[in-house]
Every structure is written in structure tokens, then in C-alpha cells.
Structure 1
Amino acid sequence: MEVNDKVSEFNITGTSEIELQHVKDLDKPRNKFRETLFLSSVTGISAMIAFGSTLALARKKDPTFFNKGLVSSKALPETGVDLALRALGYGSLYAVSGCGLLFYGIWKLSGANDMQEFRMKMGSILPRISRNDPPQGRTEFEGFRDLINYISTDYSSSSSEK
């Protein structure tokens, strides 16, 4: 069977066999790696552009104090970078130790000895999450714009009914 014959043959939903094969190819791990790499690259580039534009704005707004923050002097014994790194270190230490103490306290207050027992105790205390089986709404979207349109029309119809 030639490629032209495959394109002309459609299944019940109106998609060709080639389109179905393309959808199956998207689920391969190689394509997931590419998608992850693409999104990570976009995020990294965006962060660098935002950081650079913020630095440029700070330098443009007050160049005298900007230059004083780069090099330590008698007036400022610590540079801005050193101060920021120290603040990041203390903030990370407080966040990790505070969350660790909170989680350890919850663990001890529950009286559990292992994770299975903790899971069962928390399952009996916390409310149950209802299953959405079968799904009540749409679960497949062609793209982000389709999802946003669905959410906006669903929200506007539910708020107008109230």
C-alpha cells in the first residue's frame, strides 16, 4: 500500500493512519526527552533574560550604588553578592530545618512506627478524595489554547447559572 493510499484511508474518528502513527511516536521516551529539554531550555533562557534585564534596570536607575555593591569598601565591608549568598544559605537552612521539624512532629504525634502505619492513620484522619471514574468532562485537548477555551467557557457557564 502506498503512502497516498494511507492518507486517503480514514478511520471512524476522521484521522488518518499516518496521523495515528505520529501520535504513537510522540509517546516514545526519546520524544519525552526532547520535550523536557525544550521546556528546560525555554525556562533557563527566560530566567537569564529576566535576571539580566533586572540587573540592567538597577544599573541604569542608580549606577553609583550599583558599582558600590560590586566591590567591598570601607563604607560597605561586604559586597552585595556575598550578602545575597549568605541570605540564601540562611534561608535554605531555616526552610529545610523548619519543614523537617514540622514533618517529624506530625510523625511523632500520629504515633506511627513505619510508613504503612502512618499512611493508614493519615488516611483515616484526612477526607477521602472522590474518584472521577468515568471522567465527567473532557480529558483530551489538542493544545493549550483548547484547554484554556474549555476552562473559560466551562467557568463562564457555571458562574452564569448561579
Structure 2
Amino acid sequence: MDKNLTENVKAKTNEDNFKLKAGVFFASVAGLSAAIGFGTTLAAAKKQDPKYFDKGVVGSIGMTDTGAGLALRALGWGTVFAFGGCGILFYSIWKLSGARDLKEFRVKMGEILPRLTKTDPPTSRTEFSNLTDLLTYLSADYGKSKPKS
């Protein structure tokens, strides 16, 4: 009995470690992507017009705030509104569902939302040679009934 319990505890610990490592990995990939995107955008803006870029960073006599200061303030408020709005939306959906925990919420949403059925083999196309082929299929061919053979 103790051996089985020990194996369960080790398996749970390994699963928790994996989830932690996966979360750290995804967070670092997202952070690195955001930093690279922000840096690339700044470099492009400076390359396009270096005189006004420097004025926006340092400021000038006619401006009360620098362009960078205004941008950071806008980014801060945008972040607050985005997280606050999504948080309120998700919390209200949670409360309206009447669920007490995540497992119960998942079950209730599974009852409300339509089931996804897996067709094996697929009844429609799954391989496309390029984006144009995919878009042509979606705009013209998708949803048409197949002739019975």
C-alpha cells in the first residue's frame, strides 16, 4: 500500500514540475516575443524619422510630457482596462454559471456548449498547397454537398 501511495505522490510531483516548467517556458517565449516586437517597432520608428523620434524621447520646450511618457501612460491604462474588463467578464460568466470550482465549471460549460465530433476519416479537405488554395476552398467549396457516388 505504501509503495503505491509513494508512486502516486511521485507521479503527482512530476506532473506538477512539468506544468511549472511548461508555464515558465511559455511565459518566457511570450515575454521574449513581446520584447523583440517592441524593440523592432522602436528601431523602425527611429530609422524612419530620427529627429522627431529623439524629440519624443527627450522632450522639447513646447511639450509638457515626452512622447515616451505619454506612450507609457497609455500602455499602462490600456493594460489596466484590458485585464480589468476581461477579469470582470470571466468572473461574471463564472458566477452566472453557478459553479463552485473549476471542475464543476468545466462540466457545466460542457453541457451548454455544442459537442465537437471527430470524423474519422475527415469528410472534407485537410491538406492545402498554399494560402490561396485554402481561401478558395473556404469561399467557394466549403459547405457544398458532395455528389453521391
Shorter chain as denominator, the TM-score bin is 0.5 to 0.7
1:1-162 equivalences in 2 (<5 Å): 44=36, 48-59=39-50, 63=51, 65-137=52-124, 139=126, 146-148=129-131, 150-151=133-134, 154-155=137-138, 158=141
- CA spacing shift, 1:47–1:90, aligned 2, 3 Å: closer
TM-score w.r.t. structure 1 length?
Answer: 0.53
What amino acid sits opposite 1:79 in the alignment? Answer: T
Gaps of 5+ in 2: 1-28
Identity across the alignment (%): 45
Which residue does 1:15 correspond to in 2?
Answer: none
Which residue does 1:14 correspond to in 2?
Answer: none
Which residue does 2:3 correspond to in 1?
Answer: none
Deviation at 1:137, TM superposition (A): 4.4
- From the CA coordinates, give the structure whose radius of gyration is larger: 1
TM-score w.r.t. structure 2 length?
Answer: 0.56
- CA spacing shift, 1:153–1:55, aligned 2, 3 Å: same
Would you say how many aligned residue pairs link Structure 1 and Structure 2? 113
SS in 1 for 2:108: helix
Deviation at 1:79, TM superposition (A): 0.9
Deviation at 1:109, TM superposition (A): 0.8
What amino acid sits opposite 1:75 in the alignment? Answer: G
Q: CA RMSD in A?
A: 3.5
Q: Which has the higher contact order (CA 8 A, sep 6+)?
A: 2
